[in-house]
């Protein structure tokens, strides 16, 4: 099985080599015709080495005889073909004997390496300013949960102006047969859709890390790859390292980037000018990647880097500086994009029989819209089926009594809040005041868990695992508030200059 955008010729290349042509597919039929010209200067990789096509569009790379891959790194203003599900076809899998027997199929035997593995490209002018969509874990267990995704998140991005979308791993929830459902549903968005390998996308019956992504690769292509859009260089890294517990032999994983991936990244970035923005996309956040220092070393000389991940089922962002082992002068901005599935599609049903699926940090499930302008970026989190300005919650205890307000607090959960956020509040249109940023559990999610432990209102109960969040702000209520109704307002400004407001009316008895 080729898996994508490769036309092939008969014959045999030199032993241990793969050759081919990257060409302008004028008639868009996926087969190179004699009058279709090769494209010079396009990067092609075997997952470790990176080369460029010559004046005739030809490339020549080493390839493993039994388990290899070759893929084109999509250049600016060109697009690889996509299949009927909107999945980019930019790769050729080489597995002559196929995978070992696996529950979800792995990779089918590809047979001998073709004489020429050619990659088609079609012109696509790309503006300096463009948008992309980021989905954290869609993590659907079955077709029913794909239906939740299709009712909850997808409708509001149908017809988007974004040039492409990305699911940042955990596309499904262990049952890899659900790929067929979720890819069909997401294809309705109508833009090319890239995917990242997550820990729930693994072949659990694999022998080691090298085979654990076989079924993922069959559907989506290599788990580590790169592509250019306008002046932005995107790199997808597989930082889920599969292994078997030495005692129980049960499958498990850790956050780790393999030496082969690191070498690919080094070779890839050597061809990317320093004035380009490099966006790293992975599943496990860098805080939990064991060998992130090795990655950081490769980014030392880069001036513009941004890293995104998922996995936490919560929103978080921060900056790695020299005190965190990041060796460059400019800190590395890292954003954890939450989860499209929220709390694993759990929680009470709403009026449309969709679980509220509030994430573990108290933020609603949703997705991220990111806007690129040259080598700069700005993003906004979008809560599913909520207004675009729904960016925080205000928590005050419901039963307040005048004269006993000492020890009562207002707590703001600013969903994408960070150390660089400005957060203020006021009572009854008084003076705006700051709050203390705290780390802890969102009070609303604590109440939800307590309620649904007793009466879940249909649906699955929320995940009981506790998770502290660092995007909470807290201040004491004025102890002199008299009995009556009072207006509490909050406002926040994020690092990109977006300002959001929220309000709540409370009663003091």
The pair of three-digit structure tokens given for residue 413, joined into one six-digit string = 């959960």
User: Residues 13-46: pLDDT tens digits?
Assistant: 778 999 999 999 999 999 999 999 999 999 999 9
Q: What is the CATH number of the domain that holds 92?
A: 2.60.40.10
Q: What is the CATH number of the domain that holds 436?
A: 2.60.40
Select from 383, 406, 441 the last residue of a domain. 383
Residues 111 and 149 in one domain: no
Q: Which among 55, 61, 54 has a CA at the least distance from the CA of 91?
A: 61
Confirm whether 350 is domain-assigned: yes
How many CB atoms sit inside 10 A of residue 424's CB?
17
The pair of three-digit structure tokens given for residue 416, joined into one six-digit string = 């994408």
- Residue 367's domain comprises 131-383
For the residues 326-354, what does the mean pLDDT come to? 94
Residues 406 and 374 in one domain: no
pTM of the model: 0.95
Confirm whether 1 is domain-assigned: no
For the residues 160-170, what does the mean pLDDT come to? 98
Select from 121, 148, 171 the last residue of a domain. 121
Residues 99 and 174 in one domain: no
Residues 370 and 257 in one domain: yes
Burial class of residue 325 in the structure, from the number of CB atoms within 10 Å of its CB (0-12 exposed, 13-18 middle, 19+ buried): exposed
User: Residues 32-88: pLDDT tens digits?
Assistant: 999 999 999 999 999 999 999 999 999 999 999 999 999 999 999 999 999 999 999
Residues 208 and 243 in one domain: yes
Residues 263 and 333 in one domain: yes
Residue 8's pLDDT is what?
53
User: Residues 263-292: pLDDT tens digits?
Assistant: 999 999 999 999 999 999 999 999 999 999
Confidence of residue 399 (pLDDT cuts 50, 70, 90): confident
Residue 329's pLDDT is what?
86
Residue 454's pLDDT is what?
66
Q: Inform me whether the pLDDT recorded for 5 exceeds 70.
A: no
Residues 340 and 475 in one domain: no
Residues 289 and 424 in one domain: no
Select from 99, 121, 143 the last residue of a domain. 121
Q: What region, left, alpha or beta, does residue 258 occupy, with left being phi > 0 and alpha being psi -120 to 50 degrees?
A: beta
Q: Cβ distance 305 to 332 under 8 Å?
A: yes
Q: How far is CA 228 from the centre of its chain?
A: 17
Residues 51 and 98 in one domain: yes
Q: Cβ distance 23 to 121 under 8 Å?
A: yes
How far apart are alpha carbons 5 and 476 in whole angstroms? Answer: 60
Instruction: Output phi, psi for 180, to 5 deg.
Output: -65, -35
The pair of three-digit structure tokens given for residue 100, joined into one six-digit string = 């070992």
Residue 2's pLDDT is what?
41
Residues 234 and 333 in one domain: yes
Q: Cβ distance 187 to 85 under 8 Å?
A: yes
Residues 114 and 139 in one domain: no
Please tell me the total count of domains within the chain.
3
Residues 448 and 504 in one domain: yes
Confirm whether 126 is domain-assigned: no
């Amino acid at each position: 099985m080729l898996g994508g955008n490769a036309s092939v010729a008969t014959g045999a290349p030199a032993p241990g080599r793969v050759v081919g042509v990257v060409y302008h597919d004028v008639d868009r039929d996926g087969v190179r015709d004699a009058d279709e010209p090769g494209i010079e200067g396009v990067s092609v990789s075997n997952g470790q080495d990176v080369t460029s096509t010559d004046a005739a569009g030809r490339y020549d790379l080493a390839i493993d005889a039994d388990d290899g891959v070759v893929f084109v790194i999509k250049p600016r203003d060109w697009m690889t073909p996509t299949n009927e599900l909107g999945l980019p076809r930019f790769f050729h899998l080489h597995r002559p004997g196929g995978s070992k027997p696996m529950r979800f199929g792995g990779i089918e035997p590809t047979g001998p390496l073709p004489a020429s593995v050619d990659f088609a490209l079609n012109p696509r002018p790309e503006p300096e300013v463009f948008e992309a969509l980021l989905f954290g874990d869609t993590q659907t267990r079955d077709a029913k949960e794909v239906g939740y995704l299709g009712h909850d998140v997808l409708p509001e991005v149908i017809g988007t102006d974004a040039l492409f979308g990305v699911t940042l791993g955990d596309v499904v929830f262990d049952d890899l047969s659900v790929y067929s459902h979720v890819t069909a549903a997401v294809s309705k968005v109508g833009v090319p859709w890239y995917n990242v390998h997550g820990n729930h996308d693994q072949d659990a019956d694999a022998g080691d890390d090298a085979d654990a992504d076989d079924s993922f690769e069959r559907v989506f292509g290599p788990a580590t790859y790169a592509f250019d859009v306008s002046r932005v260089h995107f790199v997808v890294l597989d930082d889920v390292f599969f292994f078997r517990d030495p005692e129980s032999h049960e499958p498990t994983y850790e956050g780790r980037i393999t030496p082969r991936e690191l070498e690919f990244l080094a070779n890839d970035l050597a061809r990317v000018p320093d004035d380009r923005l490099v966006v790293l996309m992975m599943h496990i956040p860098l805080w939990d990647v064991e060998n992130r220092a090795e990655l950081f070393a490769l980014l030392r000389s880069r001036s513009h880097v941004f890293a995104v991940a998922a996995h936490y089922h919560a929103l978080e962002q921060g900056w790695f500086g020299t005190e965190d082992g990041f060796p460059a002068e400019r800190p590395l901005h890292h954003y954890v994009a939450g989860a499209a599935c929220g709390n694993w599609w759990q929680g009470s049903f709403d009026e449309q029989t969709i679980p509220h699926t509030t994430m573990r940090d108290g933020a609603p499930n949703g997705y991220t819209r990111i806007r690129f302008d040259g080598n700069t970026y700005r993003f906004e989190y979008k809560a599913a089926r909520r207004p675009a300005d729904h960016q925080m919650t205000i928590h005050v205890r419901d039963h307040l009594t005048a004269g006993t307000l000492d020890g009562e607090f207002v707590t703001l959960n600013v969903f994408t809040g960070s150390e660089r956020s400005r957060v203020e509040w006021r009572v009854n249109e008084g003076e705006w005041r700051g709050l203390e940023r705290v780390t802890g559990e969102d009070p609303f999610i604590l109440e939800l868990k307590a309620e649904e432990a007793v009466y879940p209102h249909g649906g699955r109960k929320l995940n009981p695992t506790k998770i502290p969040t660092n995007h909470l702000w807290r201040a004491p209520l004025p102890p002199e508030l008299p009995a009556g109704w009072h207006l509490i307002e909050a406002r926040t400004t994020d690092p990109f200059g977006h300002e959001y407001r929220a309000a709540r009316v409370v009663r003091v008895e």
